[in-house]
Amino acid sequence: MIKKIYAVLIFMLLFSFTFSSNIKDVRFNSYPPQVVLDLDESNPNYVTEYDENSRTLFVEVRGVNTPYNKSVTNKLSKYLESVQEYKYDRSHGFFLKLQKNIFHKVSIRRSPNRLVIDLSRNATNKQYTVVIDPGHGGKDTGAIGSKNLREKDVVLSIGKYLRDELKSDFNVVMTRDTDEFISLKNRSNIANRIGADIYVSIHANSSNSSAHNGMEIFYFSKKSSPYAASIARYENSFGEKYGENTSSIVQIAGEIAYNKNQEKSIPFADSLTKNLSKTMGMKNRGIHGANFAVLRGINCPGVLIEVGFIKSPKDSSIISSRSHQKKMAKKIAEHIRNYFY
């Protein structure tokens, strides 16, 4: 197998490249364990080979115009015994020697463009990473409904059920899985740090009138209707209330990535709100673009789900019910699977 790897290398030296796939950065993520090659091309020219006897994975990006000159240090020693670089004319290769009983999966991700090597201690390594963000928490109770129903408790419960529905098929990361306070900036940082493929924030809506009811879903947009802007201001105000300057959370994605993320978020939100409201027997209040600070800060497609109005007698009876929370999580999970597969 080693001979095969070197044969591939010789072939690459003789290959006439037509595509440019420059490496912008090489990152080692601790959770989930990944080696990430940030690229400037959405369809990179690359090759991988694995030798089981030596536990060596070879990954090469071809057609490199600008060499990546930063030093690369193995920061995943629990998973990788060693990392070696090889640079050739218009190509850049890596030999990754895996520790014993470590499995790997190589995939291309987009928005942003990257080649990801997922590492795992089991053979069922998952390709995509979903971040679940139960809103509020700790000192921030969120909206309060009748019978002292607290938004932070409702959304955490739904978030945990959603995690359980997804964890067999995806790398699932929760911004919080206990009753703790997490700033809006740190929520988006969690998603960016692990290279999330989709971000789902869960909230419950509030209104001075108990007559308002139904669910709605938001995606990030720099432009919004007056109504959507008012909802975003309300949610952002919780960050301000606890000392966070939400205006300092910048739009992390560049204009091209922003447009792509929005293009992916809108149909996901539209399909989900139609089917979820029907499943739960709740009013569909549609989807809206708004400048939510937590969505502004992420670098992947994302939505914020307002699962219902916490002061509405009808909605609160649904979203406070464990059986209905499980039903809601199952439907959201179904749409996330459809989004990727």
Query: Does position 74 have pLDDT exceeding 80, yes or no?
Result: yes
Number of domains in the chain: 2
* 134 and 111, same domain (yes or no): no
Which domain does 111 fall in, by range? 2-120
Out of 99-113, 201-215, 240-254, pick the least confident. 240-254
* 136 and 217, same domain (yes or no): yes
pLDDT of residue 254: 75
* 114 and 144, same domain (yes or no): no
Query: What tens digit of pLDDT does each residue of 228-287 get?
Result: 999 999 898 888 888 888 877 777 667 888 899 999 999 999 999 999 999 999 999 999
Query: What tens digit of pLDDT does each residue of 141-182 get?
Result: 999 998 899 999 999 999 999 999 999 889 899 999 999 999
* 171 and 221, same domain (yes or no): yes
Query: What tens digit of pLDDT does each residue of 209-235 get?
Result: 888 999 999 999 999 999 999 999 989
In the 3-class helix/strand/coil scheme, how is the chain assigned residue by residue? CHHHHHHHHHHHHHCCCCCCCCEEEEEEECCCCEEEEEECCCCCEEEEEEECCCCEEEEEEECCCCCCCCCCCCCCCCCEEEEEEEEECCEEEEEEEECCCCEEEEEEECCCCEEEEEEECCCCCCCCEEEEEECCECCECCCECHHHCEHHHHHHHHHHHHHHHHCCCCEEEECCCCCCCCCHHHHHHHHHHHCCCEEEEEEEECCCCCCCCCEEEEEECCCCCHHHHHHHHHHHHHHHHCCCCHHHCCCCCCHHHHHHHHHHHHHHHHHHHHHHHHHHCCCEEEEEEECCHHHHCCCCCEEEEEEEECCCHHHHHHHCCHHHHHHHHHHHHHHHHHHHC
pLDDT of residue 5: 52
Query: What tens digit of pLDDT does each residue of 4-42 get?
Result: 555 544 444 444 444 568 899 999 998 778 999 999 887
Residue finishing a domain among 73, 91, 120: 120
* 254 and 113, same domain (yes or no): no
* 90 and 140, same domain (yes or no): no
Mean pLDDT for the stretch of residues 175-196: 92
pLDDT of residue 107: 87
* 103 and 157, same domain (yes or no): no
Residue finishing a domain among 120, 152, 187: 120
pLDDT of residue 64: 87
* 105 and 40, same domain (yes or no): yes
Residue finishing a domain among 78, 100, 120: 120
* 269 and 149, same domain (yes or no): yes
Out of 126-130, 199-203, 268-272, 287-291, pick the least confident. 126-130
In the predicted model, what is the mean pLDDT of the chain? 89
What is the CATH number for 96?
Answer: 2.60.40.3500
What is the CATH number for 168?
Answer: 3.40.630.40
* 14 and 54, same domain (yes or no): yes
Confidence at 124, pLDDT banded by 50, 70, 90 = low
* 106 and 181, same domain (yes or no): no
Confidence at 123, pLDDT banded by 50, 70, 90 = low
* 197 and 221, same domain (yes or no): yes
